[in-house]
Structure 1
């Protein structure tokens, strides 16, 4: 009796769907399965106070005219859930309904920032045409479904700013079309999985997680790598120099060790962020460094400061163990307003060829304090540099009598 009643209800619901579709010529093209899937999605989500995304989702009219829904022919091909990003938009709450998988022609799915909770449905992998999947800025939890590896056309996967956990599935790295993988600001653990040589990945953003271990083999196609604020260890000279297309590198706030390979300064980088690690040894670029921003602060780097670093626009070498006199090339660049930032505080430098009468351009931020010298010019330093202008005498061999 219950099975008969359930079948009857399903039949009535399907007839109602057909009825509403036939009432309007514009909505008559929508596939009934898509119509029912949209209704299930609507029931699983709701607007937070201050949001009105669902106010126009009235299923007595054509769903293809609803905000966030894009159709082609009789199917939904793109679904963007939530108000367009703007200041103060609170977003949606609820959970993602597995009914999304019944949108068989879906190629783009995005969930805008809100308070959606729960797991990512395994069934999303049934949307075999999916090319763009972005679910960032919510409270999604649990692991990445391994089933996503079946999305062979997926180009962008953005799951950032959630509370996802577990390891990054090895199968994800083998997606043949994946070019953007953004998993930052979650709770992922374990090692970064290696990427196959055929990978076409351009962007890998895994910062602010709990990932550990050494850097794995990475695709030569990579242009953007952000892996800061993890517990990555080991040396970088075996992996990074091979990434000759890299334009952005941020490995800051890890526990990386060993030297900085000289060839890293030949990469076409716009920013090099290696601060707050345990990198050691000398920094020896082979030629003038044309990277606009280089941050090597808070490491264990030592030796003389290379004159080739004077070509950098924003240079952070503070809180290391550099010694000797700063090359005259730095003074020349500072006087010519060629450097925006030069931070050298908290090292063991013993001199700089600069006249006390030199005026530092207003556009330049210079800090030289807490070295084995009296700063030749009076330039304001950041507050965290402290108030001491020079190191104690017993820390500077050149000053000992």
Structure 2
């Protein structure tokens, strides 16, 4: 109680004309600062002078007397603007338990630092949090179930870490973006909320089928499940059930026929799977009228594609059919430079601030 009272008097003295920061948030920021160091060449924390108003610190944003945003990494997905917004990585090992004391946080970005260890379940106590970005760190362990059930969380970015274990059942009704690419996650893809618009689980070790996923996630505009161990067919979804602009299911073990409903995608990557049968006629129509911009079907077991020899492929469309059980039709194909045994594919469009690297 004494420490909180001293902090309150101190803030009143240094910032009489500004809103007085909540004493608990003030002490939490002090603890965070003591746990962090600037990396060589960075002066990110030069503004963290506690004789001034903490709401003016680099990476800190307040609403009234509470801290609502903390960005100690590269700004992503709406990070608060600050003088240090374009600096290199700034911090090392901030204490998650201390951060959890900032109970009014709505935005937390700690990407591109040197964070290690597990993600503490206590993060789930930040019930007002809307964006959590811990990408490009060295975090291990599983994705806490507490994160998957946060009521207001809309953006969860944990890409490029060393996370393992099975995916929790995501039930957050506000979740719009889920980015877990480049980890070591395994098991099946379980429940996902229908609110999702962006889903990237590429470069993991996920298995099982995806037959339920396409019809249920009606709001998706980006789906990337490539480079996993997914198996089984994709059942023909009802007409109009799939309207996802970018679908990447490449480098799995998916089999069966290609559903015509996938022809609604603008960029479709089905290469390096076990699909059989003929390419649906809907794909030919969409390619010729330039509705499909990219169609990669190489390295499957497809047996035919009805395309007139006189047909002219629009310059804006890319088609690759190499390494199938058919003679490719006499149409100009635009295959990636490495359409052989090496992984290949251009980076599809992703939302601003998102990262996408393919080889």
Q: Which bracket does the TM-score occupy, shorter chain normalised? A: 0.7 to 0.9
**Partner of 1:297 in structure 2?**
271
1:84 counterpart = 2:118: no
Question: In structure 1, how many angstroms separate the alpha carbons of the residues matched to 2:213 and 2:309?
Answer: 31
C-alpha contact (below 8 Å) 1:245/1:267 kept by paired residues: no
Q: 1:322 aligns with which of 292, 299, 302?
A: 302
Which consecutive residues of structure 2, in runs of 5 or more, have no partner in the other structure? 74-82, 287-291, 342-359
**Partner of 2:154 in structure 1?**
179
Q: For residues 121-270 of structure 1, what are the structure 2 equivalents within 5 Å? A: 121-196=96-171, 199-263=173-237, 266-270=241-245
Query: Quick check: which one's strand share is greater?
Result: 1
Shift of 1:59: 3.6
Which consecutive residues of structure 1, in runs of 5 or more, have no partner in the other structure? 1-6, 97-119, 355-359, 368-380, 387-401
**Partner of 1:3 in structure 2?**
none
**Partner of 1:280 in structure 2?**
255
Cα deviation digits, residues 162-185 of structure 1 (max 9, x gap): 111112122222222122222211
Question: In structure 2, how many angstroms separate the alpha carbons of the residues matched to 1:272 and 1:45?
Answer: 40
**Partner of 1:366 in structure 2?**
334
C-alpha contact (below 8 Å) 2:71/2:108 kept by paired residues: no
- Residues 91 and 317 of structure 1, relative CA distance in 2, 3 Å threshold: same
Shift of 1:228: 0.9
**Partner of 2:289 in structure 1?**
none
Q: What is the RMSD of the two structures over their aligned residues, measured on CA atoms?
A: 3.1
- Residues 95 and 215 of structure 1, relative CA distance in 2, 3 Å threshold: closer
Question: In structure 2, how many angstroms separate the alpha carbons of the residues matched to 1:284 and 1:18?
Answer: 67
- Residues 166 and 383 of structure 1, relative CA distance in 2, 3 Å threshold: closer
Cα deviation digits, residues 360-395 of structure 1 (max 9, x gap): 5xxxx524xxxxxxxxxxxxx624549xxxxxxxxx
- Residues 268 and 136 of structure 1, relative CA distance in 2, 3 Å threshold: same
**Partner of 2:321 in structure 1?**
344
Instruction: Give the count of matched residue pairs.
Output: 325
**Partner of 1:377 in structure 2?**
none
C-alpha contact (below 8 Å) 1:327/1:353 kept by paired residues: no
Question: In structure 2, how many angstroms separate the alpha carbons of the residues matched to 1:383 and 1:322?
Answer: 20
SS at match of 1:46: coil
Question: In structure 2, how many angstroms separate the alpha carbons of the residues matched to 1:16 and 1:243?
Answer: 49
SS at match of 1:298: coil
TM, length-normalised to structure 1: 0.71
Shift of 1:285: 0.6
- Residues 123 and 209 of structure 1, relative CA distance in 2, 3 Å threshold: same
The more displaced of 58-67 and 42-51 is: 58-67
Asked which structure has the greater CA Rg, the reply is 1
Question: In structure 2, how many angstroms separate the alpha carbons of the residues matched to 1:315 and 1:182?
Answer: 28
C-alpha contact (below 8 Å) 2:68/2:106 kept by paired residues: no
Cα deviation digits, residues 95-146 of structure 1 (max 9, x gap): 32xxxxxxxxxxxxxxxxxxxxxxx422433333222222211221122111
Question: In structure 2, how many angstroms separate the alpha carbons of the residues matched to 1:244 and 1:158?
Answer: 25
Q: 2:93 aligns with which of 84, 92, 95?
A: 95
Q: 1:382 aligns with which of 337, 342, 345?
A: 337
Shift of 1:225: 1.2
The more displaced of 246-255 and 155-164 is: 155-164
Cα deviation digits, residues 243-294 of structure 1 (max 9, x gap): 12222111100111111233288412110100000111221315x8231100
TM, length-normalised to structure 2: 0.79
C-alpha contact (below 8 Å) 2:234/2:258 kept by paired residues: yes
